[in-house]
Amino acid sequence: MIFDSLNIAASSLQAQQRAMDVVSHNIANVNTPGYSRQTADLATLTSEKVAGLNLGRGVGVMNVRRIVDPIIAQAQLNNGSQLAYWDTTHTGLKAVENVFGSLQSTGLASALDGFFLAWKQLANNPQDHGQKVNVRAKSSVLVDSLNNMKQQLGTVQANTDANINQSITKTNQILDNIASLTMQINRHEAGNKGAVGQANDLRDQRDQAVRDLTKLIPVQQVNTADGGLMLQTLGGDLLVQDGNARHLARGAAGSGNFSTIVIQGSSSAIDQSLQGGQLGGMINLRDNKMGTYIQKIDSIAANLIFSTNQIHASSASSTHQSTLTSEQASNVSLPLDSTQQTVPFASKIKTGSFKLHVYDNTVTPPVASRTVINITAGTTTMSNIVTAINAVAGVSASTDASGHLSITAATNHTFSLSGDTSNTLAAYEINSFFHGNSAGSLALSSNIKSNADAINTGQADAATSVVQTGDNSAALSILALQNSAMSIDATPSVSLHDRTTSLSTLYGTDTAIALQQKDYRTVESDSLKSQRQAVSGVNVDQELVAMLKFQRAYQASAKVITTTNRMLDSLMGLIR
Amino acid sequence: MRISTSMLYNNLLTGIRNQQTILNDGNAKISSGTRFQTPAQSGLDYKVSLDIRHAQVAVQSSVDASKAVESRLNISQTILNDMSNIFKRTQVLAVQQASGQLSSANRQVALQEVNHLADQFLADANQKWQGQSLFAGTAVDKAAFTKDAAGIVTYTGSNHDRIVSISDNQQIISNIRGDNPAFSAAFSALQGFKTALTNNDSAAIQTSLGALNSAGDGIINLTSDAGARLGAVRISRTSFEDMKLSLDKQLNQHEGVDIPAVVARMQQSSIALKAAYQQIAQLKSLSLTNFLR
C-alpha cells in the first residue's frame, strides 16, 4: 500500500508540472493580441475502494480551458465593424478638408465673392478696360477653384475605389485563413468530447481573424459545437463554411460607374449589405460623400454657367463683333433642342427669338439694321439659323464639319446680338461668358480668354441698335445673380452663395458626425477591450501567485516521495 | 472586476492620447486665435463665418460704390456751380445792357464777354472727368453737346442714366444728364441774349433777362438736386461704414477664441498628462516580479 502514496505523489508532480506549463504559456502570451488566458482544470483521479474504504488516487489535469466570454466577443465583432466604418469615413473626409477651405482661405466662397465683386466694380465703371481685365482674372480664379475642387474630389473618389480592391484582396486572404484555421481546429479536436481538449490557441487565432475580418466587412457568425464555423454577410450571403471560403470580387458597373462588389461566381451585388467595416466605409465615402459633393459643385457650376451665359449672350459692347463662333457643336439637321444633340443645355431651348443687329461702318455714325431670328422648339435646326442669318445683309453664317456655328460680318460691317428669349445663344455658347456644363468642364469662353474686351457690359438698344460705352445693364444683371435664387437643374432654387455655404456646412456636418461616431465607437471599443481583458487577459501577478501555488504543491509532492522513500527504507531495514 | 496587466497600460495610454489631443487642439486655437479653422471642425459655425464675410465684402463694395457716386456727383456739382456762376455774371450783364442809355458799341463790348461766357458754359457742359463725359449719360465717350455753325447747341449724349449698384436692393443714378430741360433752357437763353446784344435790341435784352433768370434758376435747381443726392449718398455711405464696423465686431466675436479658457484647459490637461507619465513609470515597480527572489 505504501506504493500508492508514491503513485499519488507522482500524479501530483505531473499535474503541478502541467499546470505550471499553462502558467508559463499564459505569461509567455501576456502581450499576444487575441490571446485568451488558459487554466488547467485539476481534478482528483477516480478513487479506489480498498477494504470498504474509498481511497483517492491523486490528481490529474482534466482539461486546459481558455477563458472567453461569447457575449463580449460578439459585441466586439459589431463594434469592430462600426469603428472601422466610421474611422474610414472620417479619415477620408479629413483628407479632402483643404478642398473646402479654411478661415485663412475660404476657397470657393471667396472666389465667388471675388467674381461678383469684380462684376460690381465693372458695372460701376463699364468703360474701364482695367475692370474687364479684373473680371477676367477673378473669373479665372473661380473657374480654377471649381476645377480644382472637382479634380481633387474626383481623385479621392477614384483612389477610394482603388483601395476597395486592396481591401477585397485582404478580405479574401482573411477568409482563406479562417477556413484554414477551422480545418486545423477540426483535425486537432477530432475524437474529443465537448469542450475537453479544445484547440485553444487555434480558436484564439480564428477569433482574432474573425475580428480582423469584421474590420473589413460586417459579418454574421454561427459557431457549431464541433469547432465548425459559418460566416455570412449581413444580407445572408455565405462567406465561410467550415473549410470552404467564398471570395469577394468586383462585378458590373453600379453607382457612379464604379464596379459593384459581388461574391465570386455570382453577379448579385452585395454593396447594400456592406453597411459596416472598412469596405462599407469606403463605399459610403466614394458614393454618398464624394459623390454628393461632386454633384453639388457640378450643380453650382451648371447654374453659374447657364445663368451668366443667358445674360452675356444677349449683351453687347460698343465695339461690336466682326466674327463669333459657337463653342458647342451641333448636329445641324436635328432640332436645336433635340435630346440627340450633345449640347448640355439643349433641353433649355424654347420657342422664342433673338435679334441680330448689323452695323454698316462705311458712314459715321454707323447705320444699323435689326433682324429677328425666330426659333421654334422641336423644329428649328442650326441649318435653319444659318439660312436665316445669311438672308441678312452685311453678315454671313456657316457651320464647320463638327457643327460649330460661325457668324461673320462683311467688310466694313460689324454686328451684335440681343434679346435671346429662346436660350439658343446660351445653350450653344454663342457670345457666351463661360464654356462647359460642370465643375470639371467649366472654363472661360475662348473669346474672353484671349481678349478681356470681349466681356460685354451693355445691350444693343432695341430701337436704335446703339450700344453705349457706359451702358452697364448687362453687368448689373449678372451682378444680380449673386444673391438670386436659381435652379437650372432639378435642385431646389437657392442662390449661388447659399449653395456654396451649404456645401461647406454639409461637409462639416458629415465630418462632425463621422468624428462623433468614431469617438463613440472608440470609447465602446476601449470598453469592450477592457471587458475582454478582464475576462480573458493575463494578469502577470495572478499568474505568478499561481506559479508559487503550483511550485509549493510540487515541492510538497516531492517531499511526500522522499518521505515515502524513507518509509520504504525503514521497511526494508526491518527485513535486513 | 478582474484587472489584467495590459489593462493597466492600456488605460493610461488612452488617457495620454486624450490629453495630447486636448493640448494639440489648444495649441491650434491659440496659434490661430480662432475657435475653429475649417468646416470639419464646426460646419455650422463655418457657414456663419462665410455669411458674415460675404456680408463684409458686400458692405465694403457698397462703401466703394458710394464713394464712386459721391465722386461723380461732387464733380458734377462743382461744374454746375461754375455754370451757375456764369449765369450770375450773364444776368448782371443783362441788367446792365437792358439800360436804354447804352450805345450799340457798348453792347458789342458786352457781347464779347457773353460769347466767352457762353463758350465757357458749353465747355463746362462737355466737361470730362477721368476721361468720361459728365453730362452725356451712358455715352461717356462722346461730348454731351455739339454746336452747329449757327451756334445752336444740341444734346448728343444718351438718354440712359449711369446707374451704380450700391447694394442688392439699392441702385443710384450717379450722373446729371444733359437732356435735362435746364440745359436746353440755359443754352437757349444765352443764345437769345447774344442775339439781342448783336441786334442792339433793348426790348429783346429785357426779354432775355427774364429767360436768363429762369434758366439760371434751372441750373441752380440742378446743382441743388446734385447736392441733395450727394447728401443722401453720404448718409448711406456712413450707414454702410457703421455696418462694416458692426460686422467686423460680429466676426471677431463669432470666430475669436476665449484664450484664458483654452489656457486653463491646457493647464489642466498637462497636469493630467504628467500624472499619467509618472504612473506609467511607477507601474513597472509595482509588480510581484520585483518581490520574488
3-class SS letters over A180-207: HHHHHHHHHHCCCCCCCCCCHHHHHHHH
Q: Is residue A291 part of a domain?
A: no
Number of structural domains (chain A) is 3
Instruction: List chain B residues with CB under 8 Å of A482.
Output: 168
**A235 lies in some domain:** yes
Name the one residue in this structure whose C-alpha cell is 482603388.
Answer: A162
Nearest to A539 among B5, B50, B168 (CB): B5
Q: How does pLDDT run across A477-486, given as a tens digit for each residue?
A: 999 999 999 9
Q: Is residue B290 one of the residues assigned to a domain?
A: no
Taking an 8 Å cut-off on Cβ atoms, the answer to whether B39 and A124 are in contact is no
Window 33-92 of A: residues touching B by CB (8 A cutoff) are: 37
Specify the DSSP element, H or E, that contains A455: none
Expressed as residue numbers, the domain containing B178 is: 50-251
| Bridge pairing between strands A38-44 and A59-66 | antiparallel
Residue B206 lies in a domain: yes
* Most A CBs within 10 Å, among B1, B5, B132, to test the A interface: B5
CA distance B207 to B189: 10
Structural domain includes residue B292: no
- In tens, the pLDDT along A500-551 reads 999 999 999 999 999 999 999 999 999 999 999 999 999 999 999 999 999 9
Is B121 a domain residue? yes
CB contact under 8 A, B54 and A94: no
- Read off the C-alpha cell for A366: 454707323
Quick check: helix, strand or coil at residue B269? Answer: helix
Burial class of residue B149, CB neighbours in 10 A (0-12, 13-18, 19+): exposed
Distances (CA, A) of B66 to A157, A482, A571, B170: 47, 19, 125, 11
**Hey, are the CB atoms on A502 and B47 less than 8 Å from each other?**
yes
pLDDT above 90 for A156: yes
Task: Say if residues A328 and A431 touch (Cβ distance below 8 Å).
Answer: no
**By CA distance, what is A466's nearest residue in B?**
B158
Averaged confidence pLDDT in chain A:
93
Note whether residue B26 is domain-resident. Answer: no
- Beta-carbon separation of A537 and B40 below 8 A: no
| A127, A472, A508 member nearest B141 (Cβ) | A127
Q: Is A481 in the B-facing interface, judged by CB distances under 8 Å?
A: no
- The pLDDT assigned to A1 comes to 66
A336 lies in the same domain as A419:
yes
CB contact under 8 A, A101 and B57: no
Average pLDDT over residues A247-259: 89
For chains A and B, what is the number of CB pairs under 8 angstroms?
A: 169
Query: Smallest Cα–Cα separation from A459: which of A449, A470, A446?
Result: A470
CA dist A283 → A78, A163, A309, A521, A532 (Å): 18, 10, 37, 19, 31
User: Which of A430, A450, A468 is where one domain is finished?
Assistant: A430
pLDDT digits (tens, 9 = 90+) for A555-567: 999 999 999 999 9
What is the spatial distance between Cα A543 and Cα A532, in angstroms, rounded to a whole number?
Answer: 17
The C-alpha cell of B175 is what? 450722373
Looking at residue B291, its pLDDT comes to 84
Q: Give yes or no: residues A162 and A242 share one domain.
A: yes
Question: What pLDDT digit, counting tens, does each position of A261-270 carry?
Answer: 999 988 889 9
Position A49 pLDDT exceeds 90: no
pLDDT given at position A505: 94
Q: Which residues pair with A434 in a beta bridge?
A: A444
- Residue ending a domain, among A378, A403, A430, is A430
Whether A326 and A221 share a structural domain: no
- Within A77-228, strands assigned E span 219-223
Q: Tell me which residue in B39, B42, B139 faces A468 most closely, judged by beta carbons.
A: B139
Report chain A's C-alpha Rg in angstroms: 41
Subunit contact A539:B3, Cβ cutoff 8 A: yes
pLDDT, one tens digit per residue, over A84-118 is: 999 999 999 999 999 998 988 878 999 999 999 99
Collect all residues of chain B within an 8 Å Cβ-Cβ radius of residue A89. Answer: none
Q: A217 in contact with B at a CB cutoff of 8 Å?
A: no
- Within a domain: A491: no
> Could you tell me the CA-to-CA distances from A575 to A102, A567, B4 in Å, in that order?
101, 13, 58
Query: What is residue A4's predicted lDDT score, i.e. its pLDDT?
Result: 87
Q: What is the DSSP string of A34-60?
A: T---EEEEEEEPPPEEETTEEE---EE
Q: Give the relative orientation of helices A496-536 and A70-95 as an angle to the nearest 10 degrees.
A: 150
CA A313 to chain centre: 39
Q: Which residues of A touch B6 (CB under 8 A)?
A: 30-31, 533, 537-538
A540 and B292 within 8 Å at the Cβ level: the answer is no
**Using CA atoms, how far apart are residues A244 and A234, in angstroms rounded to an integer?**
18
The more confident residue out of A563 and A271 is: A563
Kindly state whether A512 is in contact with chain B, defined as any CB-CB distance less than 8 angstroms.
yes
Q: Tell me: the pLDDT tens digits for A161-194?
A: 999 999 999 999 999 999 999 999 999 888 776 6
The DSSP output letter for B145 is E
Q: Give mean pLDDT, residues A201-218.
A: 96
How many angstroms away from the CA of A536 is the closest CA of chain B? 8
Parts of chain B with a pLDDT under 50: none
Mean of pLDDT values over A6-16: 95
Q: What CATH number did the domain enclosing B125 receive?
A: 1.20.1330.10
Give the pLDDT score at A195.
Answer: 63
**Residue B269 counted as domain residue:** no
pTM of the complete model: 0.88
**Model confidence at A488, in pLDDT bands (50, 70, 90)?**
very high
How close is the nearest chain A Cα to the Cα of B58, in Å?
8
**Residue A508 forms contact with B (CB below 8 Å):** yes
Name the grid cell of B255. Answer: 470666430
Residue range A407-428: mean pLDDT, rounded: 96
Q: Which residue is listed with cell 447694394?
A: B167
Distance from CA of B1 to the nearest CA of A (A): 7
The residue type found at A29 is: N
Pairwise CB contact (< 8 Å): A113 & B54? yes
- Name which of A58-72, A218-232, B199-213, B234-248 the model is least confident about: A218-232
B191 falls within a domain: yes
Q: Does residue A472 contact residue B137 with C-beta atoms inside 8 Å? A: no
pLDDT of residue B47: 93
Chain B residues whose CB is inside 8 A of the A117 CB are: 57, 61
Does one domain contain both A329 and A419? yes
For residues A227 and A164, membership in a common domain is answered with: yes
Cα B252 from Cα A73, distance rounded (Å): 51
Predicted pLDDT of residue A524: 96
Decide: A45 and A512 in contact? Cβ < 8 Å.
Answer: no
pLDDT at A383 over 80: yes
**Total domains, chain B:** 1
Tell me, what's the pLDDT at A58? 95
pLDDT higher than threshold 90 for residue A48: no
Final residue of a domain: which of A405, A430, A455? A430
CA-based R_g, chain B, Å = 39
Q: What letter represents residue B218's amino acid? A: G
Q: The domain containing residue A341 runs over which residues?
A: 322-430
Write the residue in B7, B61, B158 that is nearest to A534 by C-beta: B7
Compute the distance between CA of residue A108 and CA of residue A143 in angstroms, rounded to an integer: 9
SS3 A361: coil
